[in-house]
Amino acid sequence: RTLVGPDDYLLRYGRLHPEDQLQDVTLSPDFPSVATVFESLYEQSTGTTADGMIVLDPYALAELLRITGPVTVDGVQLDESNAAEFLLRTQYAAYDDREVRGDVLDEVARTAFDRLLTNRLNDPARLVRLMAPMAAQRRVMAHSTDPAEQAFFEAIGLSGAFPPATSGLDLLAVTNQNAGNNKIDAYLRREIRYEPQIDPATGAVTATVRVTLYNDAQVDALPDYVIANRPDSGQPYGVNWTWLSVHTPLVLDTVTVGGTPMPAEPQREFGWNVYALNVAVPPGPQGTEITFSLRGGLDLDGAYRFRYQTQPLVHPDVLTVVPSVPAEWAPLEPAIVDAPTVEPLDVRWDLTPR
């Protein structure tokens, strides 16, 4: 198979050869890019042209079961109360055989989706109410090869597109990608603190991003498929070996892991700077802190605008955003402090002299 897709995708992920392992196609945080690549590989593999692609994560599927009713698989009844937990964790202990797990996943998703398409919905408005938060969290996304249909998905917030670089906008996106070829991310938690210092007179911005990663995996209680890292990683059982990326308009000065300076690879994606490095997160309550020091400038035009772009994960980010300005300017209130965050955050502060 030949990897075909947007230039940003090919430049950043082509070296990882996702065409050889289709589960790696989802490396990009931009769903239109992922779908375009997958649709091409699907056609190369099957000879059939795909009309499009729909993604539902376990939480979105659980919400769908509220509409379609429970699904019974191998004697286990799954409904909105237990489907996400089963798909994210329980199934790996229940089924040792990977093919059996695949069959279970296929049956759950196919049964629910077939019911949705074939049964008359008594309350379509309820479906919209249930799925709207899932779309906002990027837990359900859709892509079509038909331009008119794709424009519709964009208009209703289902496209899952990563925001392109915009003049004057400060953005932070923190993305974890599993580098160990396992399922340990179900036990990953993140605390993220962003402290930008803005000079309204010049547009200069210096910022600190502190990402604290916690690995709650109980090593003694989980099967190898969940906690064993791929052999060439050099990482022991139970360590979350993660590829951590930060998207920002700013430029990286330094990055430290647990206080130790580390190199980060500079890249570009969607017009933003991206800085990435591999981090080993051992199990336990202590957490691993990664600190990025950034600097740059923004076209402020009387206001500081910020967006936090979330990643759909099992646990919501605990987010803090605390901007500051020099003493001759009116202070800025924190946007959010130690708050669970599952949807993108957009904030604007007016910059006013004292």
Per-residue pLDDT for the chain (354 aa), expressed as one digit of tens each?
Answer: 999 999 999 999 999 999 999 999 999 999 999 999 999 999 999 999 999 999 999 999 999 999 889 999 888 899 999 999 999 999 888 887 788 888 888 888 888 888 887 776 667 788 899 999 999 999 999 999 999 999 999 999 999 999 999 999 999 999 999 999 999 999 999 999 999 999 999 999 999 999 999 999 999 999 999 999 999 999 999 999 999 999 999 999 999 999 999 999 999 999 999 999 999 999 999 999 999 999 999 999 999 999 999 999 999 999 999 999 999 999 999 999 999 999 999 999 999 999
The residue written with tokens 């396992």 in the block is 182
Per the CB < 8 A criterion, the answer to whether 192 and 319 are in contact is yes
Helices 98-118/58-68 angle, 10° precision: 40
Q: Which amino acid would we find at residue 113? A: F
Fold that domain 169-350 belongs to in CATH: Immunoglobulin-like (2.60.40)
- The predicted pLDDT at position 107 comes to 86
Per the CB < 8 A criterion, the answer to whether 264 and 131 are in contact is no
Q: Within a 10 A sphere around the Cβ of 328, how many other Cβ atoms? A: 9
- The predicted pLDDT at position 87 comes to 92
- The predicted pLDDT at position 17 comes to 96
What gap in Å lies between CA 136 and CA 312, rounded to an integer? 10
Helix H, strand E, coil C: the string for the chain is CCCCCCHHHHHHHHHHCCCCCHHHHHHCCCHHHHHHHHHHHHHHHHCCCCCEEEEECHHHHHHHHHHHCCEEECCEEECCCCHHHHHHHHHHHHCCCHHHHHHHHHHHHHHHHHHHHHCCCCCHHHHHHHHHHHHHCCCEEEEECCHHHHHHHHHCCCCCCCCCCCCCEEEEEEEEEECCCCCHHHHEEEEEEEEEEECCCCCEEEEEEEEEEEECCCHHHCCHHHHCCCHHHCCCCCCEEEEEEEEECCEEEEEEECCEECCCEEEEECCEEEEEEEEEECEEEEEEEEEEEEEEECCCCCEEEEEEECCCCCCCEEEEECCECCCCECCCCCCEEEEEECCCEEEEEECCEC
- Nearest-5° angle of CA 338, CA 241, CA 227? 100
Measured in degrees and rounded to the nearest 5, phi and psi for residue 208 equal -120, 130
- The predicted pLDDT at position 314 comes to 97
Rounded to 10 degrees, what is the CA torsion of 146, 152, 157, 158? -40
Q: What is the pTM of this model?
A: 0.95
- The predicted pLDDT at position 122 comes to 67
- The predicted pLDDT at position 71 comes to 92
Within the chain, all domains assigned CATH 2.60.40 are found at 169-350
Tokens of 275: 């800085």
